[in-house]
A and B are shown apart, each in its own frame.
Chain A
Amino acid sequence: MSRKILLENGDISGIDQFDIYRQHGGYQSVEKAIKTMTPLEVVDEVKKSGLRGRGGAGFSTGMKWSFLDRKSDKPRYLVCNADESEPGTFKDRYLMEKIPHRLIEGMIVSSYALGASRAYIYIRGELMWLAKRLENAIGEAKAHGLLGDNILGSDYSLDLVVHPGGGAYICGEESALLESLEGKRGYPRLKPPFPAISGLYGCPTVINNVESIAAVPWIVTHGGEEYSKIGIEKSSGTKLISASGHINRPGVYEIELGLPVEEFIYSDAYCGGIRNGRTLKAVVAGGSSVPILPAELILRTAAGIPRLMTYESLSDGGFQTGTMLGSGGFIVMDDTTCIVRNTWNFARFYHHESCGQCSPCREGTGWMEKVLHRIEHGHGTPKDIDLLVDIAKKIEGKTICALGDAAAWPIASAIRHFRHEFEYHIAHPDKITDPDHVYQPMGTK
């Protein structure tokens, strides 16, 4: 079994309550940081840890923190991104549900490091019940002097606020999130300026994913160097992987980065192999936005090297033969899966969620959905495949935020690796719903 950092003590009953959490070492990092460390020393430990953002982009957390404009006389903010809406991803929800105090502890230490006196947890509105639990946990921490005025008798004070969204994938994008938190539509902002200079209410702001922030207490308690020893090189530490799809044991697993993909899929400690004795067809390894890979390329790189669950190994081969670790949303498809249908489904998602600001994304996502719908429903033409590739290219890199890329990549990669399946749909419209042929509708078991 992998070592537990984020889910440490997660199996202890009552760990979601303050007293039990505290009895098991909870909030140690707050004591250590506030009583013995300067804010910049905390930032240093996070830098040393090599922690990379767990929201999807994998950007160094310590580096991000060091970009924060500390010279400005405006207040500084820490905002936690708990919008979790990338299809295939449900790890933040799991962590907050199971050990809400881990996030609260992380928010306190991180806010101290950044010099924020107010911090927000922006949680997707659908998880309102969870927002309430977080509020509950905040209430407990406050009652014990760990939040609010003069934390643990120091002169550091922090107000921590839970803020619900209203249902919009785009609000996971950090600048859209800030707009939304300001009570507006979730329209991503042009960058620069980056949030570290001008973020929430025009003030210097750090935005981090739930999992990134939840890793900070361990790093502060045990030291950044200890953390950096876990994992492999630039992929240090542990990562929560949300495993879904056609596997025996869907769920959230904390893995040490560096675990072989094959072990993750087939070991009973993790996914437990493919359901119903079927075989593996494809995997989307890092949330719906990352390129899909066929079985042979997810298990081994194009050079035949076993792939590992690390940022580097998963992206080996670039987009030609590789993918990304992304948010760790690991979606597994067996041999009954229709790739065209799945691609159409994802295209519909991005069309539905495009905020509509940039024409290439607003128009392109709708167009791709339409073309994929017609291929899947037996009305495709041979030109449609190249048309899709062309539209995807015209969205990628041409939008304010990365939703455009996220919409383009799944489609481009599905065609790259499963072109024959699209061709088959176009050539044999009559056979698409034939239950005997391999490309059955999704979910037919």
Chain B
Amino acid sequence: MTPQFSSQTLSNIEILKTRYPVEQSKSALLPILHMAQAEFGGYLSRESMDYVASLLNLQPIEVYEVATFYTMFHLKPTGKYVLEVCRTGPCALSGAEHIVDYLKQKLGVDLNQTTPDGLFTIKEVECLASCGSGPVLQVGECYVENLTDQRVDSMLAALKSGELSDNEPTPAHSILFRTCGDKQS
């Protein structure tokens, strides 16, 4: 099935294009890929990428080569919540390796795997610019910092119960970025 952005997103894309010179609409590609990932099930399928290419009058390959270069784009379906734990030096100094182990044990899955209930995928990522408050993980738009076992427990519980969403409230006038929390609706 060909994906289709909501009319709201389509009009946002028109506004987005005005932010770059007329003949440079390709610049809008990264922001639109973020929108596509959020709106089309949390990952970029080939169909989604082809659709984005058609919106920007690009060859599909121009979209694939970009989508495969950047780590934020998932090319395969993921769990509802992708827990991206920073593994880089400063976080490792504060115990990131242990947090990854703890998550694996707690959720019973390995890195890049999804729990059977489809809720959680664990990934390792590089430095998130949160080194002073590590260990840290990103879930959607939310950073969960200063991780301890207890914090991981309460985060998982809160995500399950819906108490914690993986996005911050969107400022009222910001039309550009759909939040990851929207992707399930």
Within 8 A of A (CB), among B73-131: 73, 87-90, 92-98, 125-131
Task: Please report the C-alpha to C-alpha distance between residue A243 and residue B133 in the assembled complex, in whole angstroms.
Answer: 10
A164 / chain B contacts, CB cutoff of 8 Å: 30-31, 34, 177
Task: Please report the C-alpha to C-alpha distance between residue A87 and residue B92 in the assembled complex, in whole angstroms.
Answer: 11
Within 8 A of A (CB), among B120-178: 125-134, 138, 141-142, 167-168, 170-171, 173-174, 176-177
Is B49 in the interface zone, CB < 8 Å from A? no
Is B46 in the interface zone, CB < 8 Å from A? no
Task: Please report the C-alpha to C-alpha distance between residue A342 and residue B89 in the assembled complex, in whole angstroms.
Answer: 6
Nearest A residue (CB) for B25: A183
Of A46-54, A61-69, A128-136, A213-221, the one contacting chain B is: A128-136
Q: B132, A353: Cβ atoms under 8 Å?
A: no
A86 / chain B contacts, CB cutoff of 8 Å: 127
Task: Please report the C-alpha to C-alpha distance between residue A169 and residue B126 in the assembled complex, in whole angstroms.
Answer: 9
A251 / chain B contacts, CB cutoff of 8 Å: 132
Residues of A within 8 Å of B, CB-based: how many? Answer: 66
Task: Please report the C-alpha to C-alpha distance between residue A84 and residue B127 in the assembled complex, in whole angstroms.
Answer: 9
Residue of B19, B125, B129 near A127 (CB, 8 A) is B129
Q: A128, B141: Cβ atoms under 8 Å?
A: yes
Nearest B residue (CB) for A127: B129
Residue of A180, A333, A355 near B93 (CB, 8 A) is A333
Given A159-B19, A180-B30, A243 and B92 touching (CB < 8 A)? Answer: no
Nearest B residue (CB) for A284: B89
**What is the CB-to-nearest-CB distance from B96 to chain A, in angstroms, rounded to a whole number?**
7
Q: B94, A252: Cβ atoms under 8 Å?
A: no
Within 8 A of A (CB), among B1-60: 19-21, 24, 26-31, 33-34, 56
Q: B97, A442: Cβ atoms under 8 Å?
A: yes
B167 / chain A contacts, CB cutoff of 8 Å: 129
Task: Please report the C-alpha to C-alpha distance between residue A242 and residue B179 in the assembled complex, in whole angstroms.
Answer: 28
**What is the CB-to-nearest-CB distance from B109 to chain A, in angstroms, rounded to a whole number?**
22
Residue of A136, A163, A342 near B30 (CB, 8 A) is A163
A139 / chain B contacts, CB cutoff of 8 Å: 171, 173-174
Is B185 in the interface zone, CB < 8 Å from A? no
Task: Please report the C-alpha to C-alpha distance between residue A208 and residue B24 in the assembled complex, in whole angstroms.
Answer: 22
Q: B30, A166: Cβ atoms under 8 Å?
A: yes
**What is the CB-to-nearest-CB distance from B76 to chain A, in angstroms, rounded to a whole number?**
16
Is A186 in the interface zone, CB < 8 Å from B? yes
Task: Please report the C-alpha to C-alpha distance between residue A353 and residue B71 in the assembled complex, in whole angstroms.
Answer: 10
Residue of A92, A163, A186 near B129 (CB, 8 A) is A92
Is A257 in the interface zone, CB < 8 Å from B? no
Residue of A136, A166, A252 near B171 (CB, 8 A) is A136
**What is the CB-to-nearest-CB distance from B72 to chain A, in angstroms, rounded to a whole number?**
4
Residue of A124, A166, A443 near B66 (CB, 8 A) is A166
Task: Please report the C-alpha to C-alpha distance between residue A245 and residue B174 in the assembled complex, in whole angstroms.
Answer: 36
Q: B131, A89: Cβ atoms under 8 Å?
A: yes
Is A167 in the interface zone, CB < 8 Å from B? yes
**What is the CB-to-nearest-CB distance from B22 to chain A, in angstroms, rounded to a whole number?**
11
Is A141 in the interface zone, CB < 8 Å from B? no
Q: A443, B98: Cβ atoms under 8 Å?
A: yes
Task: Please report the C-alpha to C-alpha distance between residue A135 and residue B170 in the assembled complex, in whole angstroms.
Answer: 11
Q: B69, A126: Cβ atoms under 8 Å?
A: no
Q: B98, A245: Cβ atoms under 8 Å?
A: no
Is A188 in the interface zone, CB < 8 Å from B? no
Residue of B29, B96, B142 near A183 (CB, 8 A) is B29
Task: Please report the C-alpha to C-alpha distance between residue A164 and residue B30 in the assembled complex, in whole angstroms.
Answer: 7
B73 / chain A contacts, CB cutoff of 8 Å: 166-167
Is A10 in the interface zone, CB < 8 Å from B? no
Nearest A residue (CB) for B31: A164
Task: Please report the C-alpha to C-alpha distance between residue A185 and residue B69 in the assembled complex, in whole angstroms.
Answer: 6
Mark each residue of chain A from 81 to 96: 1 if its CB lies under 8 Å from any CB of chain B, else 0: 0001111111011000
Nearest A residue (CB) for B23: A201
Q: B93, A337: Cβ atoms under 8 Å?
A: yes
Is A161 in the interface zone, CB < 8 Å from B? yes
Given A167-B71, A168-B70, A345 and B31 touching (CB < 8 A)? Answer: no
Q: B126, A201: Cβ atoms under 8 Å?
A: no
Task: Please report the C-alpha to C-alpha distance between residue A136 and residue B131 in the assembled complex, in whole angstroms.
Answer: 26
Within 8 A of B (CB), among A169-183: 169, 180-183
**What is the CB-to-nearest-CB distance from A7 to chain B, in angstroms, rounded to a whole number?**
15
Is A294 in the interface zone, CB < 8 Å from B? no
Task: Please report the C-alpha to C-alpha distance between residue A372 and residue B34 in the assembled complex, in whole angstroms.
Answer: 35
Most buried by B among A128, A161, A252, A355: A128
Task: Please report the C-alpha to C-alpha distance between residue A442 and residue B135 in the assembled complex, in whole angstroms.
Answer: 13
Q: B34, A88: Cβ atoms under 8 Å?
A: no
Task: Please report the C-alpha to C-alpha distance between residue A89 and residue B129 in the assembled complex, in whole angstroms.
Answer: 6
Chain B residues with a Cβ under 8 A of chain A: 19-21, 24, 26-31, 33-34, 56, 62, 65-66, 69-73, 87-90, 92-98, 125-134, 138, 141-142, 167-168, 170-171, 173-174, 176-177, 179
With contacts A164-B30, A337-B93 known, what are 19 further pairs, Cβ within 8 A?
A84-B129, A85-B129, A89-B127, A90-B131, A93-B130, A128-B141, A161-B19, A164-B31, A168-B71, A183-B27, A183-B30, A183-B56, A184-B66, A185-B65, A201-B21, A244-B134, A353-B126, A443-B97, A443-B98
Q: List 9 A-B contacts (CB under 8 A).
A: A128-B34, A129-B142, A135-B176, A136-B174, A180-B30, A250-B131, A346-B89, A441-B97, A442-B93
Top-6 shortest CB links A-B: A166-B70, A183-B26, A167-B72, A183-B29, A167-B71, A250-B132
Chain A residues with a Cβ under 8 A of chain B: 75, 84-90, 92-93, 124-129, 131-133, 135-136, 139, 159, 161-169, 180-186, 201, 242-246, 250-252, 284, 288, 329, 331, 333, 337, 341-342, 345-346, 349, 352-353, 355, 441-443, 445
